[in-house]
Structure 1
């Protein structure tokens, strides 16, 4: 173990792990950013009413239900093989990004939908009486209140998402877990290597989890006016 620790603290080894951690953060940032935007669009479509929205509602619901129930690893390999049929030399990084965005969009859509539907119906009816369009209703009435429900749940999902990106290593994508396996294959003590990987995931996830808890407590407090 001592030899493993000595090998691990070499600058080249630490930089290799840091590169893997940076890639994990990049995958998470891209996936969750796209997921938030696409999730909002999907939730907006799913909460629409009327026969005009019906085909879009069905398509959005199908997308969300399918990708929320398929394991990420299955989605990753489906995207990988589909990409190889179209682009034989497709970048593994972008394959992983595509799979991650599909999964995060489906999960974020449910978080968004719960937030959009958390606004009291009386407020929606009042806005409709004032002749607000649906977009005005969403932008001016729903979103200012819904984000208090959306943000804590979204942060909790991002924490889980950081750990799920480790599965991308199964398709050969370079990230933190892949870096750990590569170092173990080079002969460094696996216990030491994966202990360092564990600490790296903890260092990424713990501040996010604390921030999510802070938001949950902060946003749940009733707003009081001082005199």
Structure 2
């Protein structure tokens, strides 16, 4: 196997192949970043909606709960295929990247909403009551009182999700998005051995996800130390 990789390497490591891999890696990063950023914003909205009280907002709470449960339970690939066929039926000119980006945002929002909701619920009820006594609105309470305390709980599992999420974007290759996994298939079809083509993809995924995992571990250790000193 190693002799075959060595013999194929000069033809593999050409400018155009490296450019192709770099563009595929950029697509993977873009999908991941869009899913994380937009998913975090939507997830925060869902989490805040589910913390509300009163009958008037009950339909919104039900909608937020239903959205979260559906997109957390349905496999990523099934959601991606459904989104693909819906876009093909109603918005046929939509690019495959947009279809994948919408799907990753929905999936990320569902999972991140539960992480954020857990962080919000970790704040002692006295903090909520104190904000209510000061006539803070719900959004003011979340922004000025709850989130500054909850983010220490939210960040560690959120980073763990981010790392897994980068790998899940590989499923976008199933609808033809030219990301890293799709690039590996293309290079394999050009005649390069699977060990070389997908080995290169493996290394690129590692180079993308490992720094993020280390950053998450460092933040988790720092936050744990901070909580220990406070206690």
Which residue of 174, 177, 188 maps to 2:178?
Answer: 174
Aligned: 1:96 with 2:109: no
Q: CA deviation at 1:129?
A: 2.3
Which residue of 108, 128, 133 maps to 1:129?
Answer: 133
Deviations 1:94-122 (A, max 9, x none): 11111111101111111110111111112
**Unpaired runs of at least 5, structure 1:** none
Aligned: 1:22 with 2:45: no
Matched residue SS, 2:122: coil
Structure 2 CA distance, aligned partners of 1:68 and 1:188? 37
Q: Which moved more, 1:2-11 or 1:170-179?
A: 2-11
**Unpaired runs of at least 5, structure 2:** none
- 1:207 maps to 211
The number of residue pairs the alignment matches comes to 225
Q: CA deviation at 1:77?
A: 0.5
- 1:87 maps to 91
Structure 2 CA distance, aligned partners of 1:64 and 1:122? 27
Q: What is the correspondence of 1:57-68 to structure 2 with a 5 Å cutoff?
A: 57-68=61-72
Matched residue SS, 1:84: helix
Q: CA deviation at 1:3?
A: 2.6
Which residue of 36, 40, 47 maps to 1:43?
Answer: 47
**TM-score, normalised by the number of residues in structure 1:** 0.95
What is the root-mean-square deviation in Å for CA atoms of aligned residues?
1.3
Which residue of 105, 113, 119 maps to 2:109?
Answer: 105
- 1:74 maps to 78
Q: CA deviation at 1:131?
A: 2.5
**TM-score, normalised by the number of residues in structure 2:** 0.94
